[in-house]
Structures are given as structure tokens and as C-alpha cells.
Structure 1
Amino acid sequence: MVIKYRYVPRHKNGHFINIYSEPTEDFMKAVHFPREDDLNIWILGRYGPDDPQNFRAIPIKVTYELEVGESHVQ
């Protein structure tokens, strides 16, 4: 099992934004970055939202686990 963290921007009103800075309630559809610094660079940049001061980085824990079917077990 591998655990990684990703950072997503969350508005003070509770919604997230996608890569086009469009609001979404689903954090799975939100733009995500491997480092909080990367998110902050994006959010303040050209393609970030019009109101970056209203967003904060939220860490999301992502767990990767390899599933092996019965036919592959030796």
C-alpha cells in the first residue's frame, strides 16, 4: 500500500474548483497538486480563480493498493 497526499483548493464557502476555475462540490473533480507550493503558484497565476484570497489548500489522502485476482496468486 502506498499513501500520497494531494492538495486541492477549497473556497471559504465550501466548494472546490476544477482546472478551469469552475466551481464543483466533488473534490474528486477538483484540480489537485502533489505539493501545496504548486497549488499556491497555480492559484495566484494566470489560470487560477479571480478571487484567490478566498481559497485555501486542503490536503487529500490518496491510498494506492494493488489488487491481485485469485488467478494471479501462486
Structure 2
Amino acid sequence: MDILYVDTLTYAQGNMYIIASDEGLVYIGTPNAPFEEVEVWAKKLFKGYRFEENKEKLQQYVKQLTSYFNKELTEFDV
């Protein structure tokens, strides 16, 4: 069973869900969209998965995306 790690990124435009697997970042959500959007997406692409909230696992993505949205970063290294 795949684990999809979940966290919420908060920035000027609102909140968005970000999702990663053990292989890396797999989803950046629409600002202020409900979690159901994530569930619909996951059902289309993954068979046998579960969500796990994990801020530590997503920390590097949150940091770089926040820097990008603040216009401090133009290239990602994750």
C-alpha cells in the first residue's frame, strides 16, 4: 500500500494541499480547494493508498514553494 504524505502550505493566496510519496512531490493543490479534490486525484492515479499527515516529510517542499511564492526562488532542487 502506498503512503501519500500530506501537508498544507499557507501563503498570500490562501492554503493548498501538497502531497508527496516516498519518491518525491506528486501534487500541489489548487488554492483554497477542499481535501476532496486531493481524494479525487489520488483515486485516479493510485491503487491501494492511504494518506498520512507528515510535516517533516514535506518540509523541504514547503520551504522551497514558500520561497518561490515570495519571489525569492526561481529554480527548485528537490
What is the TM-score when the length of structure 1 is the normalising length?
A: 0.40
What is the TM-score when the length of structure 2 is the normalising length?
A: 0.38
Structure with the bigger percentage of helix: 2
